[in-house]
C-alpha cells in the first residue's frame, strides 16, 4: 500500500487527484493523508468538503488528517512508499528541519522510520529562494526522492518550481529501486 498525502497547494490539488485516479486504475492501493490545511480550507480553487469527497471516492478509504491517526504509519502500518503531492514549501521545510506538527509531517516521519521511500512532488513559489536549501537538505537525506520539477512561470514567479505530476509514478517506481530520476529539472 502507498501513502498518498495532499498538502495546501490548492491550485495543484486537482492535478494530484487526476494522478490518484490513474494510479488506482493501474492497481495501486492508496492510503489518503491530508494536511489540516488541505483538509479544512475552502479557497477559490475549490471547497474542502468537495475535495475530501473526491479523495474518499477515488481511494475508497477514509482520510488520515490528524497527527494521532498518522503516527501508526511507520510502527504499525508498513507502507511500501509514501508520496506527497502536492508538497507545499511549508511541509518541505518542516520535513527538512525535523518538525512534526502536522498529519503529513507525522506520516512522513513515521514512514521514514522504516527506511522506505518518500516521494515529494513539490509546488512552491519559494522553491528557488527561501526553500532552496531545504531541497538540498532533503536530496541528501536517505530514502527521500523528488518528482522532477519545472519553473512554471520564470518571468512572473522567478522563484517558483512545480513538480511534473505526470512523472509521479515514474518517480515512485525509481524510488522503490532506491533511485532518483536523474533529470530533476525539466
Ligand X SMILES: Cc1cc2nc3c(=O)[nH]c(=O)nc-3n(C[C@H](O)[C@H](O)[C@H](O)COP(=O)(O)O)c2cc1C
Give the footprint of ligand X on this chain (CB under 6 A).
Answer: 7-12, 35, 37-38, 43, 88-91, 102, 123-124
Nearer to ligand X, 124 or 174 (CB): 124
Name the minimum Å distance from CB 64 to ligand X.
13
Nearer to ligand X, 65 or 174 (CB): 65
Name the minimum Å distance from CB 11 to ligand X.
5
CA distance 24 to 16: 12
Q: Is 5 exposed, middle or buried (0-12, 13-18, 19+ CB in 10 A)?
A: buried
Name the minimum Å distance from CB 124 to ligand X.
4
Name the minimum Å distance from CB 26 to ligand X.
26
Show the DSSP H helices in 81-131 as ranges: 89-96, 103-112
CA distance 17 to 25: 12
Nearer to ligand X, 33 or 172 (CB): 33
DSSP state of 83: E
Residue nearest to ligand X (CB): 8
- Residue linked to cell 493501474: 26
> Is the distance from CB of 1 to CB of 31 less than 8 angstroms?
yes
Nearer to ligand X, 126 or 167 (CB): 126
How far lies 45's CA from each of 15, 42, 87, 96, in Å?
A: 12, 8, 16, 28
Nearer to ligand X, 10 or 174 (CB): 10
In the chain, the N- to C-terminal Cα span, in Å, equals 29
**Which three-class secondary structure state does DSSP give residue 136?**
helix
Name the minimum Å distance from CB 5 to ligand X.
9
Amino acid at each position: 500500500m502507498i501513502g498518498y498525502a495532499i498538502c495546501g497547494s490548492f491550485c495543484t490539488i486537482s492535478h494530484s487527484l487526476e494522478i490518484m485516479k490513474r494510479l488506482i486504475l493501474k492497481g495501486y492501493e492508496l492510503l489518503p493523508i491530508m494536511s489540516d490545511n488541505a483538509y479544512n480550507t475552502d479557497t477559490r480553487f475549490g471547497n474542502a468538503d468537495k475535495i475530501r469527497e473526491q479523495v474518499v471516492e477515488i481511494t475508497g478509504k477514509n482520510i488520515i488528517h490528524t497527527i494521532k491517526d498518522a503516527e501508526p504509519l511507520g510502527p504499525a502500518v508498513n507502507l511500501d512508499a509514501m508520496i506527497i503531492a502536492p508538497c507545499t514549501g511549508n511541509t518541505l521545510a518542516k520535513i527538512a528541519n525535523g518538525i512534526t506538527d502536522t498529519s503529513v509531517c507525522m506520516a512522513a516521519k513515521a514512514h521514514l522510520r522504516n527506511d522506505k521511500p518518500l516521494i515529494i512532488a513539490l509546488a512552491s513559489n519559494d522553491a528557488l529562494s527561501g526553500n532552496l536549501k531545504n531541497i538540498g537538505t532533503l536530496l541528501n537525506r536517505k530514502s527521500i526522492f523528488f518528482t522532477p520539477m519545472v519553473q512554471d512561470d520564470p518571468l512572473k514567479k522567478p522563484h517558483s518550481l512545480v513538480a511534473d505530476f505526470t512523472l509521479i509514478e515514474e518517480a515512485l517506481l525509481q524510488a522503490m529501486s532506491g533511485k532518483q530520476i536523474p533529470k530533476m529539472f525539466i
